[in-house]
Amino acid sequence: MTGRTREIGRTGLRVPTFGLGCATLGGSRYPVTRDEAEAVLRHAWHQGVRYVDVAPYYGYGAAERRVGDALRDRPRVEWVLSTKVGRRLVPRADSPPGPTGTPRPLPFDAVYDYGYDGVMRSVEHSLQRLGLDRIDMLLVHDIGAQVHGDEHPPRMRELREGGYRALRELRDGGAVRAIGLGVFEREVCLEVLAWGQWDLFLLAGNYTLLGQHALDDLLPACERHGVSLVIGSPLNAGILAGGELWNYREPTPQVRARVQALRATCADFQVPLMAAALQFPLAHPAVAAVVCGPRTPAELDQNLAALRYPVPRELWAALVHQGLLDRRAPVPSPDRR
């Protein structure tokens, strides 16, 4: 495992500060073939990337198969893998297209299941798709009020009374080393902290240059409880890298204006906005890693170059002065990047 690593919670498990997210590599949101996905995975390995995040939902099983096929022969002690539970795959021959109209790579549908048996079956099936004997970090996928609406209370009760017991058994028995959530909502992370013992939260689209509301509650809570935060989608689904989408939807005029202001200030210091965006979350002591989802080897190289790009401290001060960055936010320094 190369590069800097940080501990996940109090588990002793250390992860690199950059992880490869495989949502795009499943090929259900954007057309990505098996060969294209495995090319990204192999290139990531050769570039020293040793942390991979996947889920059954990504490509309805295809992403896990592609990760396993590309990395199965690599020494397992040299890389860290996280996958997820909460959506169980069931066969469906007439499966509809994916979220953006792309045909599903595999003929499965996903059903929510946060119960004890559902979690255990999901882990068993993930190991079979991956062709591996171990998962390092196991995350509950997409639980929260924004996802489930009025169904959130019974879904959370299902997790608390069933799925959480399975997670604890898997961790206590050594089948996994860390457990947590993989979500978009910081509120649900705060909710489960009240009753569970967690090691990490993979929080997507939050605590980025576009918003630091997690400083109000979640980040202090993580520090108190000894829980690590992994920031998924630190580029807010691409808008901080020149893309058109903001958290997988059309940006509001306010978001567009904020991005333009961030880009202009970064340009004043000859710093690409992507570089500032990827480096910023890693300055907080509760943050263990950022996870990006490149679709090509070239996009991966851009991510890695942005992480190494020299950013002067004066840029962060300018962003604070202009009201574009919360003054409470820790900012990167040479020893915390």
> Partners of 80 in the beta sheet?
51
Q: What is the DSSP string of 16-73?
A: ESEEEE-TGGGSSSS---HHHHHHHHHHHHHTT--EEE--TTTTTTHHHHHHHHHHTT
Dihedral (C-alpha) 65, 164, 197, 10: value to the nearest 10 degrees?
Answer: -30
Q: Which of 51, 57, 60, 84 is catalytic?
A: 84
Start-end of H helices in the chain: 34-46, 62-71, 116-130, 145-148, 152-158, 164-172, 186-193, 218-225, 253-268, 273-279, 297-308, 313-321
Active-site residue 53, yes or no? Answer: yes
Burial bucket for residue 30 (CB in 10 Å: 0-12, 13-18, 19+): middle
Size of the chain in residues? 337
Active-site residue 268, yes or no? Answer: no
Q: What is the DSSP string of 91-121?
A: E-TTPPP-TTSPPPSSSEEEEE--SHHHHHH
Active-site residue 84, yes or no? Answer: yes
205: left (phi over 0), alpha (psi -120 to 50) or beta: left
284: left (phi over 0), alpha (psi -120 to 50) or beta: beta
Q: Are 291 and 230 in contact (CB under 8 A)?
A: yes
Q: Cα(86)–Cα(114) distance, rounded to whole angstroms?
A: 5
Q: Which of 58, 60, 114, 116 is catalytic?
A: 58
Q: Which of 51, 53, 116, 142 is catalytic?
A: 53
Q: Are 23 and 40 in contact (CB under 8 A)?
A: no
Q: Which amino acid is at 337?
A: R
Q: Tell me the catalytic residues.
A: 53, 58, 84
